[in-house]
A and B are shown apart, each in its own frame.
Chain A
């Protein structure tokens, strides 16, 4: 059994026709060969629109390859027994109106597993997902992490030999992300193989093997540690200055000799194009990780240009000491359930303020109260000095909002979406055209302008959504998980833009599940179970971790959340 590979692909290619007549066809996959043995896990990574999802759909038998052979369990994929494959499409395939239990039992029956006859399997599913207490909750009212766990459980109800999971951990907090990985391992059969696509290299590093797809070709194949080695001798770390952290990072990113840079713990990390560190600081060689290798491998050799997006923002220097965003004991109750309680914070112009917390903690509710999408049950929220109720149309013009879920028009092209958004913000004629062109150029949307927004890869959708939020160069920017589903290189660019926009005097409120990104924030508020449990600069939060001289923000995050859980159970 173990001798025969589960998957064998030889020279597979797939080409899609262009977005409109006359447009060149898109080579989604080009000469892909791979094998996967039972019991192994394979991580598929790569830049947005790199061909990951197309490959998954070919493996699941949903798309036919133009060329090459695809064998699943020793037989051509066309003869595939669908019961042998657990396929979880991007975003899952749940019925929002059905409850957790109804979804799970529906998928079980569809896969020939009668729930009554398999109580053990069902019990395992409930226990492993932690959804036992939410059996009767409709799927569309679950938090992001729970929804992904349920979707995963539905896909692999029957413990199939082959599990194809397309972005199972997108938009999920670090704790839940680890749980989803463990869940996949636990729900797999003893000889099941897992194919897992992700834009998070940290997740992919947990797999046995890793494949990096770029423009339809395999750029790297092998162990995750091997990918990290690509950046060996070229990764350096220097102490992070206590003042001007963002400026230091910004400066580093725009240097010709630097591929990518980030903040981690108390140090600044840089991946360079050669084995010599950038000048200026006291650099020491550092251990590269898979993400560093990814960046080094995909380096296009061009230095990151200064943010064109930010240059359009007028410098806002007045009223720097008057809060641009203020939340005063914001509270939202839905019946007996409190989604957010007494959330208080202020954000000043030019500041980046991060809301952190697990899925379902109340971040988005707080966000939506400030945007005027949800009426608070108590407390007060002001944006640009005005209360954002529905009537305050003028106040809404001061706001750029990027929702967590892609909320632009799927049946319109990228360019039509941007034009529409420009119009709703009162931009017209040449001004609107200039704004749209600027966003298209700055976010590399040029190849996609004619594409239907709904059919874009996840990462491109996020770029479009960010572009739509900053078209009108607002003084206040709300970004709800702007980088979820975006590949590491583009994440770096996103933050490059966000930092530069803040530097022009815009107040930025952001939520993220990436703790290395949270390092970019001036101040953070950690929300858990509807309550603010910690606030301060990244360094303030890290002080909560005792006995570690250089903790990462992720360690601080986990420590603080566990501390709250302990004190609550002690109180109860």
Chain B
């Protein structure tokens, strides 16, 4: 791995107040520190602000977009109207406002990106933590489990991602769920490797050994000691994966694997392409969805990198 060092280990608890209160205070302080150093990262802030704006627009879209105007039969304009005050980004082949479609499409694209990431991060974390934990403290059986899990992960790493996603999207029944599954099931291996490495580092710390000595079972150790300490790394990885997933969604749509009846950025792009918008010079149909994908993917990447640098102080100087 790239050398993502764990955060400095928390200091041993002082004896006076109750440990629980202390822990909470410590966490709050850590969070404050975290937020402050994140705020210092200008690129990260820019990404965060742009994401917040886009998310707000997507969530409140039903308030200012008439859904009837997004239907095929209720389209307000003529086909392929160029940008005008009424339709700032022109209209599509049905006469729907492209701007409305982009804003509405953000809902699906973001949902696909986030859900696919949830699938892959959960899978990756589960496998990574299990492999790491049992690898370091599970006896012979545990080591075998760990080895098998990591071999499977390595094997998935060699599968061509795009080809596998396409095959999965084709095998599963059509629809947005399939796209989420196809992306989620193909991009998890790097997360698993990362989490495993982090788990190994955490397991080596004294307080985990202490918890084990005090009779903490595997589940207890994994849930209460390993997982919270792995989370920061996972969080950074998650934000980076959302970017990948959103690009993947548009790629699958381009390869004809998407659901053309759902309004998503990839879907709009594909519709524009099949309509021949590129060669017909209907740029307002083709350019905005691609830019939207790029901006959101970039924002997520910036956030993810900022998180990484906050978590890993060695990278902090490169804000």
Q: Do A and B make up one complex?
A: no
Which residues of B are at the interface with A, using a C-beta cutoff of 8 A?
A: none
Which residues of A are at the interface with B, using a C-beta cutoff of 8 A?
A: none
